[in-house]
Amino acid sequence: MFHTQSDVVFIKGLKVEAVIGVFDWERAITQPLLIDIALETDISRAAVSDDVRDALSYKEVCDDVSEWCKEIQAKLLEHLAGQISDKLFAKYDCQKIALSIAKPTAIAQADAVGVQITRYAPALTNESATKDVAKEVNDSQADDA
């Protein structure tokens, strides 16, 4: 029987003040950003253990994303979104990220403008996958000895 599972840890409406924009006046101030993040990850271990150490910490994700927005000081939301998704994959165990970043004060006639991206975890290259499998086999054989 074929079984798939899709678990998501999400953050909705994370508010961050950051330097963002292409105009000189935008580079001299901070602007509010509203960020939504959905991280597809396996929550089954935390669901069984009820232990936060087995969970993907949404508090830690919020803290990291807030800090990254302030550090990056991107000109474009597209660049900021790409940088955040790369950093999330590097730090957290997730297979897919849906991320939206809105600038609610950018256009007076609109509630908000922004970007939305979906990214998938980088696949292992054949070489690195082969090395990983070989290491697992060697480790398994050492345990059996």
Rounded mean pLDDT of 18-37? 97
Residue 133 reports pLDDT greater than 80? no
Q: How far apart are CA 107 and CA 8, in angstroms?
A: 31
Q: List, in sequence order, every residue forming a beta bridge with 34; answer none if it has no partner.
A: 15, 102
pLDDT digits over 69-91, tens only? 999 999 999 999 999 999 999 99
- Output the CA torsion 124→125→126→128 (10° steps): -70
Region of poorest pLDDT, from 21-35, 41-55, 77-91, 112-126 = 112-126
Which residue matches tokens 């396996």? Answer: 42
